[in-house]
Amino acid sequence: MQSICDSLPGVLSLAEARDRLVAALSPVRGVESVLSNSALGRVTAEDILTTVDFPPFSNAAMDGYAVRSVDALPGAILQVVDRVMAGAPSVAALEPGQAIRIFTGAPLPDGADAVVMQEAVVPEGETVQIRLSAPLLCGENVRFRGEELRVGERLLASGRIIRPQELGLLAQAGVATVSVRRRLRVAVLATGDELVAAGGSLGPGKIYESNRAVLLGLLADLPVEALDFGIIADDRALLGNALKLAAAEADVVITSGGASVGDADFMVELLTAKGRVEFFRVAIKPGKPFLLGHLEGTPLFGLPGNPVSMMVTFMALVKPGLETLMGLMPAEPLRWPVRAVSPIRKRPGRLEFMRGVLERHRGELFVAPLADQGSHRLTSMSVAHCLIVLPQDSCGIAAGDWVSVELLPGGERDILERPA
């Protein structure tokens, strides 16, 4: 009897799968106004223009003396006529042959066009002598009004995620509230008769379920609302009901397990009957049985049940999909070249992600693959710093060859110095 999977599209490359995934998804609707100081991690829903100049007035870039640049010649002696601190403008306008003591951030006095740093002058009573080796340039050590941004210019573009530095820009512009996209609602569930929730009792053939914990942790780094739908048994009716409830309550559903072609894997069958399958199977290792579909209009990501495969497919495919749904431009994975410590064996045919440990040696990074690469070994993801990315047609790597790596979350920690 022909399997339903026989009628589905063939195995896609990772690049093809990512392109099709992004093309099949659209940002969710819904906008809300939030206090700017509560907008960390949110996505801007419109362009934000500044209503003030950056900076709002010309000011000193360092402690020193405000002068007319034409007067600040090497050896010149200038009369000090005032002192101006940050937050209080000078009451005196600068005349030829004069200087005004000024501190960082203080408004530039009228008539001044430069600041001599305090280390370049010698105070002598009510005067200062300029000790420069060359004439002072107009504008030196001055931050001019509007040199960073002018009123009406774009402060933040629509579709930008608000990070701490963007919070600072909003505060600097005096923006009290900001229009952001509503949080994406993401339903998470795990499937499998063998799974038991933490705290439960393990019977024969049972294991504790861990994928939801990993997924919820990965989602915590994104501006989404995660909904935990628990563990669903390998039962066609139970799974169908759970998926229907999740699809009704969430903007997107993420499942782990049940996406392969075993007798108890019902995900493809249910999606084909109740919605549509966009694609099934990707030419990567681990993580080949990845599923993208729609259930009654709600996108669904079907991830493999093995924890390493699940985490790899989340990083490679689910994350850019969620970013698309949030209204963000999906970020390309950041990869950089390092040298392999030892040979790496690989068969051509699939893009392969191997867990690796990074080492520093005389300022250069090297990577060593972990000995155990089984997709069930979650401990390897805890020990590893990175994923070694081996191209689909690669036949392996020799010691000393360059390879590309992707950092795992938190992978920058605990990188050791390689012995000489």
pLDDT tens-digit series, residues 237-288: 999 999 999 999 999 999 998 766 655 468 888 888 888 999 989 999 999 9
Q: Is 42 exposed, middle or buried (0-12, 13-18, 19+ CB in 10 A)?
A: buried
Predicted pLDDT at 28 = 94
CA distance 321 to 22: 6
What residue has token string 């009716």?
237
Predicted pLDDT at 273 = 86
Predicted pLDDT at 259 = 67
pLDDT tens, residue by residue, 386-409: 999 999 999 999 999 999 999 998
Confirm whether 283 is domain-assigned: yes
Q: Tell which of 89, 113, 143 closes a domain.
A: 143
189 and 231 Cβ atoms separated by less than 8 Å: yes
Segments of the chain scoring below 50 in pLDDT: 1-7, 264
Predicted pLDDT at 363 = 83
Q: Is 307 exposed, middle or buried (0-12, 13-18, 19+ CB in 10 A)?
A: buried
CA distance 318 to 186: 11
Q: CA 347: distance to chain centroid?
A: 32
* Same-domain status, 70 and 42: no
Q: Please report which helix (H) or strand (E) contains residue 280, including its range.
A: strand 275-280
* Same-domain status, 200 and 211: yes
* Same-domain status, 75 and 105: yes
Q: SS3 for 289?
A: coil
Q: Tell which of 291, 325, 359 closes a domain.
A: 325
* Same-domain status, 83 and 168: no
The domain in which residue 266 lies consists of 4-29+182-325
Of 389, 378, 384, nearest to 408 (Cα)?
384
Of 359, 382, 356, 381, nearest to 370 (Cα)?
356
Confirm whether 236 is domain-assigned: yes
Q: Please report which helix (H) or strand (E) contains residue 406, including its range.
A: strand 402-407
Q: Which amino acid is at 182?
A: R
Confirm whether 330 is domain-assigned: no
* Same-domain status, 413 and 303: no
The CATH number given to whatever domain includes residue 406 is: 2.40.340.10
β-pair type (224-232, 364-369) = unpaired
Confirm whether 387 is domain-assigned: yes
* Same-domain status, 407 and 300: no
Q: Where are the alpha helices (DSSP H) in 55-210?
A: 164-172
* Same-domain status, 321 and 190: yes
The string of DSSP codes covering 237-259 is HHHHHHHHHHHHH-SEEEEES--
- Name the domain count of the chain: 4
* Same-domain status, 280 and 220: yes
CA distance 24 to 27: 11
* Same-domain status, 167 and 190: no
* Same-domain status, 279 and 359: no
Other CB atoms within 10 Å distance of the CB of residue 146: 16
Q: Tell which of 158, 181, 204 closes a domain.
A: 181
The string of DSSP codes covering 97-135 is TEEEEE-TTPBPPTT--EEEEGGGEEEETTEEEE--SSP
Predicted pLDDT at 268 = 86
* Same-domain status, 121 and 241: no
* Same-domain status, 129 and 168: no
